[in-house]
Amino acid sequence: MTTWKIDPAHSEVQFKVKHLMITSVTGGFAKFEGTVQSASDDFSDASISFEADVESISTQNADRDKHLQAPDFFDAAQFPKVRFVSKEVKKIDDENYKVIGDLTIRDHTKPVELTVEYGGTQKDPWGQVKAGFELSGKINRKEFGLTFHATTDNGGLLLGDEVKLLASVQIVKQ
């Protein structure tokens, strides 16, 4: 079994949600860690665990970030981590996978399916072996207790329920 760790300096974990239903706001987590364990070189038998620090959330707007950390949304004081643990990896072809696992936000754990594109494995100039992946998925924020709701003056929605999950991840062979 080979253990790999996320290289946070070469990885991004982001989300997008509709604002006023006309554009998307992008946010992400600055602090996160994850481990991949796999006996196979193609990661078809991988076991994945990941967590992000809610206090590291950033949408490039300090007031919005504080609101996202508050009880209306993630409630960072009570639930400081977002977690994902894989249950199954399905290899579609040499570059494409589906990863099914449990995502925990607040005290809500729900199954999610992520689409994963394997970018390959390379040795960096310092001799470290790295593998790269692009991940995407969608969740309904209300299923995870992120139920804050507001309407505009004309009755429109302030926030969409669907949240797009996006990550670009490099992992380092340990």
Check pLDDT > 70 for residue 154. Answer: no
The answer for residues whose C-beta is within 8 angstroms of residue 23's C-beta and 6 or more apart is: none
Percent over 90 (pLDDT), the chain? 82
At 89 the three-state DSSP class reads strand
> Which pTM value belongs to this model?
0.92
Average pLDDT over residues 10-22: 88
Check pLDDT > 60 for residue 167. Answer: yes
pLDDT of residue 29: 97
* Residue 165, amino acid: L
Of 17 and 100, the structure prediction assigns the larger pLDDT to 100
Mean of pLDDT over the chain: 93
> 20 falls in which pLDDT band (50, 70, 90)?
confident
pLDDT of residue 19: 79
Average pLDDT over residues 116-123: 97
Instruction: List pLDDT tens digits, range 49-99.
Output: 999 999 999 999 999 999 999 998 999 999 999 999 999 999 999 999 999
Check pLDDT > 70 for residue 151. Answer: no
| 157-171 burial code (b ≥16 CB/10 A, e <16) | eebbeebbbebbbbb
Cβ count within 10 A of residue 82: 22
Comparing CA positions, the residue from 48, 61, 152 lying closest to residue 103 is 48
Average pLDDT over residues 157-170: 87
Strands (E), the chain: 2-6, 12-19, 23-29, 32-38, 47-53, 57-58, 81-91, 96-105, 108-123, 129-140, 159-173
Token duo for residue 99:
């990863």
Q: What domains, with CATH codes, occur in the chain?
A: 2-173 (2.40.128.110)
